[in-house]
Amino acid sequence: MNRPAVLLVDDEPEILNSLGRNIRSWCSEQGLEIVSAESAAEAERRVEADDLEVHIVISDQRMPGMKGDEFLRRFKSLQPDAVALVLTGYTEMKDIEKLLNSDIFAYLLKPWDRERLIIELRKAEKYYQTRKQERIVREKIEKELELGAEFQKALQRNVSIPKDKRVDFHVSSIAASHLDFSGDYYDIIKIGEKRFLILVGDVAGHGLNTAFIGGILKSIIYPEFIKPFTGGDFSTSRFLRELNRRIVEIMHNLPDVLIAFSAALLDIGTGSLLYSNAGLPPAVLVRLDDVATLEAPQMPLGASDSLEFSEHKVNFEAPDVLLMYTDGLHPTGYPGVSFVEKDLLDAFHRSFSRNALDKGNYGSTYKCSDVDHERVFSRVKNLIGTESFDDDVTLLSCCLRW
């Protein structure tokens, strides 16, 4: 176990002895050991060999071999929480400038005043405890975020995109956070032989809760809302209505949780698409010579337990492409960006060359992986005027094979 200590560093033994006598009573009250060293090199050896946890280090500035400011910078890498005080009899401006750039807590001149020295030690110990606690909390949060990111990645690995010779799906998801941590959700569930339920969601906010709410969605959607209807009629509006009530029930202690969510039911037997939207940007239907949005969004899930949602039904035939996406891909989320909806639709449409939608060129080998999501991202970034997205982005495309 590390031994808490105050480290004294000075090349003059009488200075070390005097300092030790002056602070011994205070250190004893604080449970701190006094460790002395006559050089920077000796100080580093003592700390490592004696397994010390240095709370405060008091160093002379002018020492042979290594000056105090250089030693303190090196020591910071060994024990980042330690609080540094400098004791010196010199007042040259160049030394003072070096010390100011070395994260020094206090600067004391020789000969020191014992009363002021003890006051500075008390402040330094309080600062040490605060800094140490902040580091512990920060490390805990970072660990929790890492665990949340791993949890979310595990959920995404469990999303099994259906393999079917008649239909193709392609999903791209980009996290805005450095931890690869996204508030977006997606799933594709096969219902019977000819129907596919396509789900895209966006949990409001960022942080650990978004991953766990995604886990809740994953755990309840199939057993509670899909499995009972696998052999019968399925309504996307009814699905969102019942899912919303369940979300409100589960999240009653978290009133600020809102989940933008859309659901599309593709029936390849009838060549139709049933669609409902709760707060996400409207899905886009790209056709050979046309592009259009589907039904406008309604209130997000979690806003109220009495929400109702409408349905929109369209024909869906090859080579049509359905695009569902979260709001990180929509220009309204970027301040100062002026655009009309047609600009965004044009960006989507121009992301698909006519050849990519042309039966004569692709024949039976055409698949949605031929739809280049990177081209979509690039064109939308150009529209926004940015090199990267500020929010999590998920883009899901779906099309029928010839």
Q: How far is CA 27 from the centre of its chain?
A: 43
The CATH code that applies to domain 158-400 is 3.60.40.10
Position 207 scores a pLDDT of 57
**pLDDT at residue 289 is higher than 90:** no
pLDDT-derived band at 354 (thresholds 50, 70, 90) equals very low
Position 381 scores a pLDDT of 85
Position 359 scores a pLDDT of 45
Give dist(CA 13, CA 38) in Å, integer: 7
Position 260 scores a pLDDT of 92
Question: Is omega for the bond preceding 319 within 30 degrees of 0, making it cis?
Answer: yes
- The one-character DSSP state at 331 is G
**pLDDT at residue 204 is higher than 90:** no
Q: What would the pLDDT profile of 88-98 be if each residue is shown by its tens digit?
A: 776 555 555 55
Position 280 scores a pLDDT of 92
Q: What would the pLDDT profile of 259-268 be if each residue is shown by its tens digit?
A: 899 999 999 9
Phi, psi of 171 (to 5 degrees): -125, 135
Angle between helices 236-250 and 208-220 (to 10 degrees): 130
Q: Domain 3-141 in CATH: superfamily?
A: Response regulator (3.40.50.2300)
311 or 356, higher pLDDT = 311
Residue 26 parent element (H or E): helix 13-30
Give dist(CA 225, CA 243) in Å, integer: 7
**pLDDT at residue 123 is higher than 70:** yes
The span from the first CA to the last CA of the chain, in angstroms, equals: 69
pLDDT-derived band at 277 (thresholds 50, 70, 90) equals very high
**pLDDT at residue 357 is higher than 50:** no
Angle between helices 93-100 and 68-78 (to 10 degrees): 10
DSSP 122-183: HHHHHHHHHHHHHHHHHHHHHHHHHHHHHHHHHHHHT--PPPBTTEEEEEEEE-SSTT----
**Mean pLDDT over each residue of the chain, to the nearest integer:** 81
397 DSSP β-pair partners: 170, 323
pLDDT-derived band at 343 (thresholds 50, 70, 90) equals confident
Q: What would the pLDDT profile of 152-182 be if each residue is shown by its tens digit?
A: 565 555 567 778 888 889 888 887 655 555 6
Position 393 scores a pLDDT of 87
Listed by start position, the domains of the chain span: 3-141, 158-400
Phi, psi of 95 (to 5 degrees): -70, -40
pLDDT-derived band at 271 (thresholds 50, 70, 90) equals very high
| Residue bearing tokens 């009488």 | 14
pLDDT-derived band at 239 (thresholds 50, 70, 90) equals very high
pLDDT-derived band at 328 (thresholds 50, 70, 90) equals confident
- The b-or-e profile of 123-154 (16+ CB within 10 A means b, else e) is ebbebbeeebeeeeeeeeeeeebeebbebbee
Q: Is the pTM of this model over 0.75?
A: no
Mean per-residue pLDDT, 368-376: 71
Position 96 scores a pLDDT of 58
Q: What would the pLDDT profile of 49-60 be if each residue is shown by its tens digit?
A: 888 899 999 988
